Amino acid sequence: MKIKRRIGIWLLSAMALILVAFMLLPVVYMLLSSFKSGTEITQNPLGLPASLDFGNYINALSKMNYLRSVLNSIGITLSVTVLVSFIGALAAYPLARRTNRLARALVLLMALGLSTPNFVTITPIYVIFRDIGLLDTYTGLILAFTALNLPLAVFFYTSFIRSIPIELEEAARLDNCSDFRIFWHVIRPLLGPATATLSLFVMLMVWNDFTYPLLLLTDESKFTVMISVYRFVGNHNLSPNDLFPAAVLGSLPLLILFIFFQRRIVSGVTAGAVK
Amino acid sequence: MRTLQRYRIFLFTLPAILVIGAFFVYPILLSLRLSFTDFTGVGIPKDVGWKNYERIFTRSRYLDAFTTTIVFTAMVVVVQTALGLFFAALLHRLPAVRNLCRAALFTPAMMSFVIVGYVWQFIYSPFNGGLNSALAAIGLESLQHNWIGDPNTALIAVAFAHIWMFTGYTTAIFLAGYAAIPSDLEEASRLEGASSWQRFRHIEVPLLAPSFTINVMLSTIGTLKTFELPFIMTRGGPDGATRTLSLHIIDSLFGKYKFGFASALSIVMLILVVLVAYVQNRYLRSRENNT
């Protein structure tokens, strides 16, 4: 009986692995095709590439302004992370420690931000940015992404700060520390794990989003990675020799990040959704 | 004085309030205001009353987009939830491969719409695309098709790419729901001789009700407002078969600068999303309480 169950589990595991591998075929297809020449794509669309030819990559790298846009994406991600975590944690502190009417009203305001779909705000944000000269600037894009991530950050930090024992603050309060000093010296040093998960969130969103940069940027030297991929592939009529290396270059950094932080990302994203 | 001091700590929320005010509250109000104008970006917006809204509800192209959005969302939500539940139920029974498979299924969600869109566009391509080549390789040439070039299959093809992208996400949320099921309950039913299917049907599915709620609501709202994959893969074509409401918003912005009309469309969509979310929430929560 027990052996029978064992075999059943083995067979089921094999089936699960095959099904999952099947789901990953498009990713494998993308990787394999990125090394193929134009004629190879025609003659051998599914098989392994004849050789590991990096010609497509060299061509894509030189034409799509890759390094510059990677630097742009990283710079924007870092700025957004710093702003979101500072503003978010600061706002979360009173929301976590007070339960009066004002606190509840502010939670509601954050919930409004969290649940507003971005298509409602993109038109007015475009108009506002145009009027105050923030179109086509890093500052504008960073502010827009900061706003997009802030409500989630506030909720995230609020529940995290609630789990910090209040006794830690009481000692400092007896020493007559101001609220800000307590926040800065007692609370802030404990926020590391929350900030780490949050920054993964921000990185994912900034790297992958293309609505905001598409709408707000026109200067090629300011493009983020996805908008470079979008333009590069779109301008070449979907030629596979451009498409696949660009797709790999566009997703590789995050896929590598995912391999290292897979548990943290999956549980962070699902926890964020469950809240 | 004492009250003032009690509230002083709320100064900490000031930067956040400013950001939310400037990027959510004010834009929503401005959107509402612009939706009653014919603003195209230059000069002073001229009031046109309900004309923009009238246009949305009388022109067939917008009513068609409405239908397309609903059909697209329904396909994605049903198939994605079913697939996610299937994978979660399977992986729950297989602790040895669970983590590996969960991560692998989640991988597409790490990729951008831009990349998923382009890669699937080529997979569907009638010229040496992956899908037709695969069909040929297993001797099913007769099934070869211009998947996103044919109005009859384009929407399904785009929906499939969307489902592929987010099935891992749904699976992960169901697996988190599984983790919350008390293990002694499963053990007891197993000892009483319940089959795997019986446990799934009578213990797991009822106890997973909260995960159902989250998954259905998340994917509904996410899919209702999506424009990315149709924008990249088909530009709404062929023949408007994949033109969703939000794609109309983007199209009225780009190059056309019809800010007034785009605002009216986004207000209509906002009402749609809020309405659907509200009804779903009521229904799914009452279902949770009944089980």
Least CB–CB distance from B111: residue in A102, A124, A251: A251
pLDDT digit string, tens, across residues A210-236: 889 988 988 888 899 999 999 888 877
Q: Mind listing the domains of chain B with CATH numbers? A: 45-290 (1.10.3720.10)
At A124-160, the pLDDT tens digits run 898 899 889 999 999 999 999 999 999 989 988 998 8
Query: Taking CA atoms, what residue in A is nearest to B113?
Result: A208
3-state secondary structure A158-187: HHHHHCCCCHHHHHHHHCCCCHHHHHHHHH
A122 within some domain: yes
User: Per the domain annotation, does A147 fall within a domain?
Assistant: yes
Average pLDDT for B180-208: 84
| Residue B79 confidence (pLDDT) above 90 | yes
Q: Is residue A107 part of a domain?
A: yes
Say yes or no to pLDDT of A269 above 80. Answer: no
Q: Assign B47 to helix, strand or coil.
A: strand
Average pLDDT of span A26-55: 83
Q: Is B115 on the interface with A (CB under 8 A)?
A: yes
Cβ within 8 Å, pair A146-B17: no
A50 and B CB contact within 8 Å: no
Query: How many structural domains are present in chain A?
Result: 1
**CATH number of the domain encompassing residue A196:** 1.10.3720.10
Of all residues in chain A, what percent carry a pLDDT higher than 90? 25
State the DSSP code for B201: I
Across the interface, of A17, A123, A125, the residue whose CB is closest to B23 is A125
Contacts of B277 (CB under 8 A, 6+ apart): B217, B220, B221
Residues of B in contact with A146 (CB under 8 A): 19
ipTM reported for the complex, 2 dp? 0.88
Residues in a beta bridge with A144: none
A156 domain residue, yes or no:
yes
Of all residues in chain B, the one with the smallest CA distance to A248 is B115
For B233-269, how does the pLDDT look when each residue is reduced to its tens digit (9 = 90+)? 988 878 888 999 889 888 888 778 888 899 999 999 8
How many interchain CB pairs under 8 A, A with B? 256
Radius of gyration of chain B (CA): 24
A72 located within any domain: yes
Helices B259-290 and B26-34 pack at an angle, to 10 degrees, of: 120
Q: Is A42 inside a domain boundary?
A: no
**Confidence band for B3, pLDDT divided at 50, 70 and 90:** low
Task: Band the pLDDT of A273: cuts 50, 70, 90.
Answer: low
A59 occurs within a structural domain: no
The verdict on residue A186 lying in a domain is: yes
Domain that holds residue A184: 65-214
Asked if B107 has any chain A CB less than 8 Å from its own CB, the reply is yes
Which residues of A fall within a CB distance of 8 Å from B30? 124, 127-128
pLDDT value of residue B188: 85
pLDDT, one tens digit per residue, over B196-234 is 888 888 888 888 888 888 899 889 988 988 888 999 998
**B225/A119 touch (CB, cutoff 8 Å), yes or no:** yes
Per the prediction, chain B carries an average pLDDT of 88
Least confident of A96-100, A252-256, B153-157, B240-244: A96-100
| pLDDT for the residue numbered A241 | 83
Choose among A20, A151, A215: nearest Cβ to B104.
A20
